Amino acid sequence: MNTVLVIGATSPTAQAFIKLMERDYPEMTLKLFVRNRKKVPAYQKREHVIFLGDAAKYTDYVAALEDVDYIYDSVGGLSTGPYVKLLLRAIKETQATIKRIVDISAGGIYGEYLSGNLPYLSAVRTQHPQYTHDQLDKPLLFANSGIPFTIFRPGLIQNGPETKIITHGPEFRAIPESEFAINRETFARAAANALFNDDYHNQSVAISNGELL
């Protein structure tokens, strides 16, 4: 049986992924990496492995990686740039056999959204340059690790039904307003496709809603 480590598991985006996993991949074991156990839904405490940890601590990653096959990393925040380095260091030094990593980054870091200052999106480049720099470093960090990966760069994350998926690589710098939004259900499906179907292999992609299914 394979195990998926869900880092930042109490975020709304991660919760949508967890629910999709429960429904469509019940054979998978989920290990939920959380900082506050009280925020975990009661049924998830019963049905999944709960790991209390801090995403800023190397030693917590080391402990969490035991028996893990896949990683879904949705830790967010402007100070999280160094975290991926800690995770990759822990994987290397524990010799964990990780099959694939899905990382949630930020839309706008390439100036790809035609949004101006509102909504936020591409304004992140000028308002948070260090954060932008850290996010732009991720593809090379993952590539150098040798672990297959997908980095998703969402725009406006929202609730809504699952749709078809639109993606663009970093070279595409003109995402229109019609593609700003991404529903959490759609996002969850794309993440599962990346983890288990090898979609978006070693790519950093912007992700948006397509047509309704």
Over range 194-207, report the average pLDDT. Answer: 98
Task: Please state the rounded mean pLDDT for residues 168-181.
Answer: 94
pLDDT tens sequence across 102-118: 999 999 999 999 876 66
Confidence at residue 117, expressed as pLDDT on a 0 to 100 scale: 66
The pair of structure tokens assigned to 16 is: 């949508």
Q: Prior bond to 119 cis, omega within 30?
A: yes
Q: What tens digit of pLDDT does each residue of 19-33 get?
A: 999 999 999 999 999
Contacts of 200 by beta carbon, 8 Å cutoff, 6+ apart: 150, 152, 167, 190, 193, 194
pLDDT of residue 154: 95
State which residues form the domain around 26: 3-212
Q: Please, which residues bridge with residue 30 across strands?
A: 4
Q: What is the pLDDT of residues 71-107, one digit of tens each?
A: 999 998 888 878 999 999 999 999 999 999 999 999 9
Query: What crossing angle do the helices spanning 12-24 and 184-197 adopt, rounded to 10°?
Result: 60
What does the alpha-carbon distance between residue 142 and residue 132 come to, in Å, rounded to a whole number?
Answer: 16
Output the pTM of the full model.
0.96
Question: What residues have CB less than 8 Å from 144, skipping those under 6 apart?
Answer: none
CATH number for the domain spanning 91: value is 3.40.50.720
How many structural domains are present in the chain? Answer: 1
Please state, rounded to an integer, the average pLDDT across all residues of the chain.
95
DSSP states of 97-154: ---EEEEE--TTTTS-B--TTSSSGGGHHHH-HHHHHHHHHHHHHHHHHT--EEEEEE
Asked if residues 199 and 149 have their Cβ atoms less than 8 Å apart, the reply is no
